[in-house]
Amino acid sequence: MSLPPESDFFGRILFLLQSYGGSYLRGAWVTMVIALISTFIGCVIGFAAGILQTIPADRRRAPARFWLLRAVRLLLDVYVEVFRGTPMMVQAMFIFYGAASLFGINMDMWTAALLIVSVNTGAYMAETVRGGILSIDPGQTEGAKALGMTHFQTMTSVVLPQALRNILPQIGNNLIINIKDTCVLSVIGVVELFSAAKGVAGVYYTFFESFAITMVIYFVLTFACSRLLRLWEKRLDGPENYDLVLADGLVQGEGMYRYPKNPAQPNADLRARQLWDAQEGLRDGKSNGAQSERGRGE
Amino acid sequence: MSEPIIEVRHLSKRFGRNEVLRDLDFSVLPGEVISIIGASGSGKSTLLRCINLLEEPTGGSILFHGQEVTAPGTDPCALRARVGMVFQGFNLFNNMTVLENCVAGQRKVLRRSREEARANAMAHLEKVGMASYINAKPRQLSGGQKQRVAIARALAMDPEVLLFDEPTSALDPQMVGEVLEVMRQLAAEGLTMLVVTHEMAFARDVSSRVVYMADGVICEQGAPAQLFGAPQNPRTREFLSRFNSR
Ligand SMILES: Nc1ncnc2c1ncn2[C@@H]1O[C@H](COP(=O)(O)OP(=O)(O)OP(=O)(O)O)[C@@H](O)[C@H]1O
Ligand SMILES: [Mg+2]
């Protein structure tokens, strides 16, 4: 197979797609798998680090825990600073060849790629998560504590869900950066999209055409991801309005009461009964009474 | 004579070099409704926060049903599950609906079944007049509504004592009444309550005992009629005269 002799730019692109479409797709696949998995692992690392940074430890009550946490935090600081402060391409070389020559470990391409990108993302996410946790007002933590929740329960059911929501744009940012930055892994022989494109380009010296295709693919990937994350954000925010289970007792009409739509739901009956009871209570004048007595407190 | 639920012995609390509570003795009997009054900065909130160990005392001890909860190795979570608290700033969970706010603690801490937690939450939400708002998020509610949900959330844990730290101070005047009304109702039902408040009418009419604090100590305490009618301590008299003249 050879390049059609009198083809124009688009003709050459068409030719590259027809003959090497598979290479681009495989490259894009590798890029996406590395970016997605390492963003996920990076987030896990970031959350773990962020949580470790914010565990309270009383120096007097639990001195062992206090000093242990101190040591862990110091290590985390070193980790964050080192990985944020050096280029990922250099880290890739350092880890890949370092593992081989120091420990005799020959990492396969996937392990090396996932390790490097994850650890890198983790370093960025650690700070992001810490900030996300600190941005949740401490009143809610106190509210949870006052109910008897442990630090872990407070974190998982109150703080982290809100922190996650707040840092979702940052996670999206990291994913997009990772999609683009996996291209530096070509230095250790990972055949991701950039590396694939370079390979194809070299065959017929069609650099412009090959990288035009690559530009489009990268853009489609990042744009799709950013839109999907937007959707997820919207989902997490929930509805703008809420349904009043029953309106004001004074204007409540019979017709406004809605039975749950799905009677197969196990709790539907119980719920309907409770709502009904609640409604009855209000109609009996409970709320009217409360209203007329409002002024008495002062 | 019944045993006290809470006993505070020689309690002291320092923030750095600032001694906020000094050698304070205090106890709570079942069924009592105690109002704690006093000037700003006198240590009322700190006392309340020490009682459920949100603040670690620097000296003295706190006993819950005769058990020392300030001893090293005791689990503060177990205590907090039985001593509820209502805050000035509501402190509702913003990521949960009204109903979920009232269910979370029961599920996580008391390990109640989903149905039981739900039914109990509904019962208490109804009591505070918020049953119709179960699907709302805290940000969609008014201050008075938030505080009533916060009270229902605390009640849903079936606490033995409920601590209130200025529950109406962050509210607009027209919302104060609805919250006080709920508290009045709880007092009438015999719930043991400890209320830090600036609402003198509430302290006078609802509580069974009023405690006046100044500079980290209890200056004077007694039945409301006695404390408001014939205060013994000159500092109490001066504090109350400022309120009476308003
Ligand atoms: N976390 C803290 N760190 C340092 N000092 C504190 C802290 N909390 C309270 N204090 C100090 O302790 C003193 C008593 O505070 P506290 O909040 O108990 O007063 P209060 O009687 O509740 O006053 P208010 O009526 O204004 O709420 C104040 O001087 C305050 O500055
Ligand atoms: Mg206070």
Could you read off the pLDDT of A3-44 as tens digits, one per residue? 666 678 888 888 888 888 888 899 999 999 999 999 999 999
Give me the phi and psi of B182, to 5 degrees please.
Answer: -60, -40
Task: For residues B125 and B143, give the distance between their C-alpha atoms in angstroms, rounded to a whole number.
Answer: 16
Question: What confidence score (pLDDT) does residue A46 get?
Answer: 92
Could you read off the pLDDT of A115-152 as tens digits, one per residue? 999 999 999 999 899 999 999 999 999 999 999 999 88
Alpha carbon B182 to its chain's center: 13
pLDDT band at A100 (very low <50, low <70, confident <90, very high): confident
User: Is A243's CB within 8 Å of B140's CB?
Assistant: no
Question: What confidence score (pLDDT) does residue B1 get?
Answer: 57
Rounded mean pLDDT of A252-261? 38
Tally the residues of chain A: 298
Question: What confidence score (pLDDT) does residue B220 get?
Answer: 94
Question: What confidence score (pLDDT) does residue A266 get?
Answer: 42
The answer, yes or no, to whether residue A98 has pLDDT greater than 50, is yes
Q: Which atom of ligand 1 is nearest to the CA of B55?
A: 1
Question: What confidence score (pLDDT) does residue A246 get?
Answer: 60
pLDDT band at A295 (very low <50, low <70, confident <90, very high): very low
Taking alpha carbons only, the member of A248, A250, A247, A269 closest to residue A260 is A269
* Pick from A148, A246, A271: CB nearest B132: A246
DSSP tag of B70: T
The answer, yes or no, to whether residue A112 has pLDDT greater than 60, is yes
Question: What confidence score (pLDDT) does residue A267 get?
Answer: 45
Rounded mean pLDDT of B103-126? 95
Q: How buried is B151 (Cβ within 10 angstroms: 0-12 exposed, 13-18 middle, 19+ buried)?
A: buried
- B167 vs A contacts (CB less than 8 Å): none
The answer, yes or no, to whether residue B74 has pLDDT greater than 90, is no
Q: Is A105 helix (H, G, I), strand (E, B) or coil?
A: coil
Rounded mean pLDDT of A181-206? 87
pTM, two decimal places:
0.79
Task: For residues B181 and B116, give the distance between their C-alpha atoms in angstroms, rounded to a whole number.
Answer: 27
Cβ pairs bridging A and B (under 8 Å): 143
Mean pLDDT (chain A) is 80
Question: What confidence score (pLDDT) does residue A22 get?
Answer: 86
Nearest CA to ligand 1 atom 4: B15
pLDDT band at A53 (very low <50, low <70, confident <90, very high): confident
Rounded mean pLDDT of B46-68? 93
B-chain residue closest to A280, CA distance:
B126
- B157 vs A contacts (CB less than 8 Å): 147-148
Could you read off the pLDDT of B187-225 as tens digits, one per residue? 999 999 999 999 999 999 999 999 999 999 999 999 999
User: Of all residues in chain A, what percent are helix, strand and coil, respectively (each to 5)?
Assistant: 75, 0, 25
User: Is A139's CB within 8 Å of B199's CB?
Assistant: no
Q: Which residues are near ligand 2, the ion (C-beta closer than 5 Å)?
A: B 45
Rounded mean pLDDT of B51-65? 93
pLDDT band at B245 (very low <50, low <70, confident <90, very high): low
Give me the phi and psi of A192, to 5 degrees please.
Answer: -100, -165
Provide residues with CB under 6 Å of ligand 1: B 15, 18, 20, 38, 40-46
Taking alpha carbons only, the member of A133, A165, A126 closest to residue A151 is A133
Q: Note whether A240 contacts B: Cβ–Cβ < 8 A.
A: no
Question: What is the side-by-side strand order in the sheet with B59-64?
Answer: B18-28, B6-15, B59-64, B67-68
B-chain residue closest to A165, CA distance:
B95
Question: Mutate which of A147, A168, A244, A279 to test chain B, going by most B C-beta atoms within 10 A?
Answer: A147
Rounded mean pLDDT of A172-180? 93
Rounded mean pLDDT of A187-216? 87
pLDDT band at B57 (very low <50, low <70, confident <90, very high): very high
Question: What confidence score (pLDDT) does residue A63 get?
Answer: 82
Question: What confidence score (pLDDT) does residue A54 get?
Answer: 81
Could you read off the pLDDT of A156-168 as tens digits, one per residue? 999 999 999 899 9
pLDDT band at B71 (very low <50, low <70, confident <90, very high): confident
pLDDT band at A51 (very low <50, low <70, confident <90, very high): confident
pLDDT band at A1 (very low <50, low <70, confident <90, very high): low
* Pick from B56, B119, B126: CB nearest A281: B126
pLDDT band at A280 (very low <50, low <70, confident <90, very high): very low
Long-range contacts of A149-152 (CB under 8 A, 24+ apart): A149/B77, A149/B104, A149/B105, A149/B108, A149/B109, A150/B77, A151/A55, A151/A56
Could you read off the pLDDT of A223-246 as tens digits, one per residue? 999 999 999 888 888 777 777 776
Q: What distance in angstroms lies between residue B49's CA and the mean position of ligand 2's atoms?
A: 10
Could you read off the pLDDT of B9-42 as tens digits, one per residue? 999 999 999 999 999 999 999 999 999 999 999 9
Question: What confidence score (pLDDT) does residue A209 get?
Answer: 86
